[in-house]
Amino acid sequence: MPPPAEIIRSKRDGAALSSDDIDGFVQGLVDGSWSDAQAAALAMAIVWRGMDERETTALTRAMTHSGQVLHWQAEAFGKPAIDKHSTGGVGDKLSLMLAPMLAACGAVVPMISGRGLGHTGGTLDKLQALPGYRVQVEPDEFARVLHAAGCAIVSAGPQLAPADRRLYALRDVTATVESVPLITASILSKKLAAGLDALVLDVKCGAGAFAPTPAAARALAESLVRVGNAAGLPTRALITDQDAVLGHTAGNALEVQEALDFLTGRDGGAGRDTEPVQRAVTLALGAQLLVLAGLAPDEPEALAMLQHSLVSGRAAEHFARMVRALGGPADVLADAQLTQAPVQRPVPAPRAGVVSAMDTRALGLAVVALGGGRLKPGDTVDPRVGLSQVRPRGTALAAGEPLALVHAASEAAAAEAVRAVQAAFTLADTAPPRPAAVQHLVG
């Protein structure tokens, strides 16, 4: 096998890497024989030179097998193991709603989730707003929770795709996150190691996403779908709108509360009052998965099953069982034990008008600045802070009416956030066109 510098040189000069080169790199990530500098240099060469589909598939496979690969057959669930994964958004609490809905529709959902990244929130940070909720589980406990609740949202743990763990940490600090082959291998290696039978990806597109343009989102979605299927995992992707905050909240405890309101119907009944993009994307992702996994014959039937999981209260029950099994509140539906931030301040609209646009990335960064995300690895996250009552696009407001409500740990932090949120909203005289929640289906 060529030494690391030769492999880096090949990619630097634009060559395609052989499977042996790629295996050597991944092995070196795990056994430490590649230094941080060498691994980061190859990552940067890949950012610039790209990888073809064969290389991306080889990298994905090697990273998948860099650790334990779970197989659920021995558990005899008698149900397909399915999952959805989002490329990251602001207010993106869809996993909290969808995992129990899918469980209620007859699937098992071993969902490996992540922490917040940059301006986007992370599902694990949200769930840890529930006192006691454990995200770190050994494989046997993972299986026990799946038997008890049908769904388990946990972290990858050191045994799953350890090559991605090391490479991701290096990419995060060397400006090498934004690369279609690297994102593809990173996401899919964890999903393939989780032993899934079907996967649907929510590729977010817009101001709040890592893929800001339709072309970028399309390239990422196509790569994920092609490589996922080539690696033997039936995979589809939806490209969905992230030009606005999803739902009404952004911030960990606030998002958990919104998800609970959706699941229990406290938001007006089966998610009826939910902001329309959030509701439409949740149902569309769920329907694709149920059809892909053979749990529903077609999309209309799948949508009916998902609706029933809400109105029957079964999705909410599955969520409660998962939370209890993972050490969270014993009856999360009755008392989620979420704590409130001490300071709450409305953000007044500076003029009368219709909400026509919002700088979603800026809103995500405002939540991070309030303490709801990390500025550097290891920072602690304040679960209480964030935004609620975020007005969706198309809302008509009088001057001074709230654009959103800021939840902050201090008056100073609240004042700063009020300014940032005000600046992030655009008010116009006429309503904007209604966005398409789902822009494309790939696969």
Of the pair 209, 347, the CB lying nearest ligand URA is at: 209
**Binding window for ligand URA (CB under 6 A); candidates: 177-185, 201-209, 377-385, 389-397:** 177-185
Least distance in angstroms from the C-beta of 117 to ligand URA: 6
Q: Tell me, residue by residue from 88 to 107, as one string, x for binding to ligand URA by CB under 6 A and - for no binding.
A: x-------------------
Binding of ligand URA at residue 183 (CB under 6 A)? yes
Of the pair 174, 426, the CB lying nearest ligand URA is at: 174
Q: Which of 114, 208, 373, 435 is in the footprint of ligand URA by CB under 6 A? A: 114
The residues assigned a catalytic role are: 83-86, 123, 171, 186, 190-191
Q: Which residue has the tokens 């769920």?
A: 286
**Binding window for ligand URA (CB under 6 A); candidates: 67-75, 100-108, 176-184, 339-347:** 176-184
Looking at 71-161, list the stretches that DSSP marks H as alpha helix, in order from N- to C-terminal side.
Answer: 94-104, 123-127, 139-149
Distance separating alpha carbons of residues 185 and 210, to the nearest angstrom: 16
Of the pair 63, 355, the CB lying nearest ligand URA is at: 63
Q: Residue 329 is encoded by which pair of tokens? A: 């509140």
Query: 314-325 vs 139-149: helix axis angle to the nearest 10?
Result: 150
Contact 394, 354 (CB under 8 A): yes
Binding of ligand URA at residue 187 (CB under 6 A)? yes
Could you tell me which residues come within 8 angstroms of residue 311 by beta carbon, excluding any fewer than 6 positions away? 265, 269, 270
Q: Residue 210: which of 119, 320, 107, 302 has the closest Cα?
A: 119
Least distance in angstroms from the C-beta of 81 to ligand URA: 19
Binding of ligand URA at residue 186 (CB under 6 A)? yes
Q: Residue 392: which of 258, 208, 273, 246 has the closest Cα?
A: 246
Phi/psi for 277 (5° steps) reads -65, -45
Least distance in angstroms from the C-beta of 182 to ligand URA: 6
Distance separating alpha carbons of residues 222 and 219, to the nearest angstrom: 5
Least distance in angstroms from the C-beta of 287 to ligand URA: 24
Binding of ligand URA at residue 235 (CB under 6 A)? no
Q: Residue 78 is encoded by which pair of tokens? A: 């008698």
Of the pair 59, 284, the CB lying nearest ligand URA is at: 59
Residues forming the site for ligand URA (CB under 6 A): 87-88, 114, 168, 177, 182-183, 186-187
